[in-house]
Amino acid sequence: MITSLRLLDFKNFADETLRVGPFTVIVGANASGKSNIRDAFRFLHGIGRGYTLAEILGGKHLGGQAEWQAIRGAPNEVGRVADAEPGSRFALEVQLRLDDINAQYLIEVSRGAGESGVFRVSREKLSAGGWEPVYTSHPYYPDPVRDQDDDTHLLLRMEKTGTQRKYGDRIAVRPDQPALTQIQEHKRIAKPHKDKAQRVIDALASMRFLDLIPDSMRQPSFPGQKILGDSGDNLPTVLREICADSKRRQTLIDWVRALTPMDVDDFQFPVDPVTGLVRLVVLEKGGRTCSAYSVSDGTLRFLAMLAALLADDPTRFYFFEEIDNGIHPTRQWLLLELIEKQTATGAMQVVTTTHSPALVTSVNDATFTNTSVICRPEDATDAIIRPVDGLPDAEKLRKSQGLGRLLAGGWMEDMIVFTKDTEKPDA
């Protein structure tokens, strides 16, 4: 589980840390930086997928199809643009709790000067298990040929593992790809180091970024496709897979009936005799059937989120942009309840952005502690991230007025500006 994300000179953040819990809610005005945080998580996910920096930032195509979309704003506006000057380096630091160990991973990326403008890793550090370092990049290598400005290597100092002392060596890796996904291939690196790195890679690789598109959810899907696509594709077969297990089917139906009291009562999954593809047909209360082609957009969004939350896949981290999008306020609290229930054990994590007062009013105490606000004060270009529960009297006002009213009235931003001013030494 990811427990925090630090953003250094990334987009509109100078040095801010987001607290991440089982269910993390991010609020803030338009253009405050909520989706920039999604971009940061996507960058980390790209690392987990084993991509090079150029691929993570610029996108990857395979046979003319986009396998991976570029990070928004790259290449010129991924580092923090200050005084109209594009930033030449940024860093992200993530902390994770991986069953029995804590891990911390830092990556700093710099952009070469001049026309080449190539991105390279300029600093990287992995610690795991009681925060012991696994490797650190080595900026003070005494060899002038391979010093820190060397464009062809990033030098790592591998920590000694105790049993295999000779592995406390320096090794050179290519700077165009994070070392995390290169050290696996190095014969000289001890297995315990590789194992720790692999656990971090697995955590980053299993992130998913749902960006639901109703038309994708309407399409029939290929039998055996069990993983919901990022735009909601494969919905029929993912739901069919859940329904194959009677207990999970019952859970799904219970939630569907509660969340969609009029529109969905049950499912059918007819197979198209010509194409062999599986279609989704919903059974409405009163017995009317409705094919996925005519199901409402909001209903499909619900079904896709249910499919994601109840599916039996190894996804451990979901980022849902604007979770309330297209969903009536009276139903948002039920969706919230489902996410809070599914994430309570920590086996699955959800991060969401929202503008919905109705949704934030209904968060439980645990989610409240993982609700953060992003604010760009009027006189500043950089944004600030603060846990809402740390703002003055937040808990008391939440109880008396409801968090939604505080969100809608701009109280959180006012409090950030207020506390920021009082933090100044001369205030």
Ligand X SMILES: Nc1ncnc2c1ncn2[C@@H]1O[C@H](COP(=O)(O)OP(=O)(O)OP(=O)(O)O)[C@@H](O)[C@H]1O
Q: Give strand pairing partners of 173.
A: 154
Shortest reach from residue 169's CB to Mg ion, in Å: 45
Would you tell me which residues interact with ligand X (CB under 6 A)?
11-12, 28, 30-36, 73, 77-78, 80-81
Element (H, E) at 353: strand 349-353
- Binding-site partner at residue 11 among ligand X, Mg ion, none, CB < 5 to 8 Å by type: ligand X
Number of residues that bind Mg ion (CB under 5 A): 2
d(CA 108, CA 178): 9
- Binding-site partner at residue 66 among Mg ion, ligand X, none, CB < 5 to 8 Å by type: none
Shortest reach from residue 73's CB to ligand X, in Å: 5
- Smaller CB separation from ligand X, 28 or 236: 28
d(CA 265, CA 200): 41
325 lines the binding site for Mg ion (CB under 5 A): no
Binding track over 15-34 against Mg ion, x by CB under 5 A: -------------------x
Element (H, E) at 98: strand 89-98
Q: Which residue has the tokens 């139906």?
A: 253
From 4, 17, 35, 69, residue interacting with Mg ion (rule: CB under 5 A):
35
d(CA 338, CA 349): 12
Q: Which residue has the tokens 């990049």?
A: 137
Please classify residue 172 by burial: count the beta carbons closer than 10 Å to its beta carbon, then call 0-12 exposed, 13-18 middle and 19+ buried. middle
Shortest reach from residue 383's CB to Mg ion, in Å: 12
- Smaller CB separation from ligand X, 28 or 229: 28
Shortest reach from residue 38's CB to Mg ion, in Å: 7
136 lines the binding site for Mg ion (CB under 5 A): no
Shortest reach from residue 334's CB to ligand X, in Å: 23
- Of 100, 95, 92, 107, nearest in space to 4 by CA: 95
- Smaller CB separation from Mg ion, 35 or 296: 35
d(CA 277, CA 286): 27
d(CA 162, CA 234): 48
Point out the residue whose Cβ comes nearest to Mg ion.
35
- Smaller CB separation from Mg ion, 269 or 319: 319
- Binding-site partner at residue 88 among ligand X, Mg ion, none, CB < 5 to 8 Å by type: none
CB 171 within 8 A of CB 193: no
φ, ψ at 338 (rounded to 5°): -65, -45
- Smaller CB separation from Mg ion, 104 or 352: 352
Task: Give SS3 for 331.
Answer: helix
Binding track over 57-96 against Mg ion, x by CB under 5 A: ----------------------------------------
Shortest reach from residue 33's CB to Mg ion, in Å: 9
CB 209 within 8 A of CB 322: no
Shortest reach from residue 403's CB to ligand X, in Å: 18
d(CA 190, CA 340): 40
- Smaller CB separation from Mg ion, 3 or 35: 35
- Contact residues for Mg ion (CB under 5 A)? 34-35
